Amino acid sequence: MTNAQSQPSAVHGTGTSAASTGVLPEIVRPEAPEHGAERESLEGFLDWQRATVVWKAGGLSDADAARQLLPSITTVSGLVRHLADVERSWFREVLAGEANVPARWSAEDPDGE
């Protein structure tokens, strides 16, 4: 990073309610740069999104992360796996052009469960 405008700001702080404790801890996550090169902006935004997921899911027990809260197979741990799979697919297959990138899903098991 060459200029102050492309440097991510230190943190963004907030707190809201959560099921397990009633209050989420203070969030500390990097802010994406407002100006900068395309890759730098993308990486900064992804860092912010990743930190948000960790903040929201952090502190859940394995049982809570695996609990189905909707009338579907959706769980917090499944959502985190999905986010990792999509990011891996975009970066390795689409952007880097890699072939045969491992995936959890298949024609036989499209949900990868």
Does any domain span residue 110?
A: no
Question: Is the per-residue pLDDT at 17 higher than 80?
Answer: no
Question: pTM, whole model, 2 decimals?
Answer: 0.64
Residue with tokens 């049982």: 63
Does any domain span residue 48?
A: yes
Does any domain span residue 74?
A: yes
Q: Which long-range contacts (CB under 8 A, 24 or more apart) does 50-55 make?
A: 51/27, 52/27, 53/80, 53/83, 55/24, 55/25, 55/27, 55/29
Domain count within the chain: 1
Does any domain span residue 71?
A: yes
Burial of 22-42, coded b for 16+ CB within 10 Å and e otherwise, reads eebeebebbbbbeebeeebee
Question: Is the per-residue pLDDT at 12 higher than 60?
Answer: no
Does any domain span residue 104?
A: no
Does any domain span residue 89?
A: yes
Question: Is the per-residue pLDDT at 97 higher than 90?
Answer: yes
Structural domain range at position 77: 7-95
Does any domain span residue 105?
A: no
Phi/psi region, residue 61 (left: phi>0; alpha: psi -120 to 50; beta: rest), is beta
**Average pLDDT of the residues in 85-100:** 89
Q: What does the pLDDT read at residue 113? A: 67
Question: Is the per-residue pLDDT at 49 higher than 50?
Answer: yes
Question: Is the per-residue pLDDT at 23 higher than 80?
Answer: no
Residue with tokens 């707190």: 15
Does any domain span residue 11?
A: yes
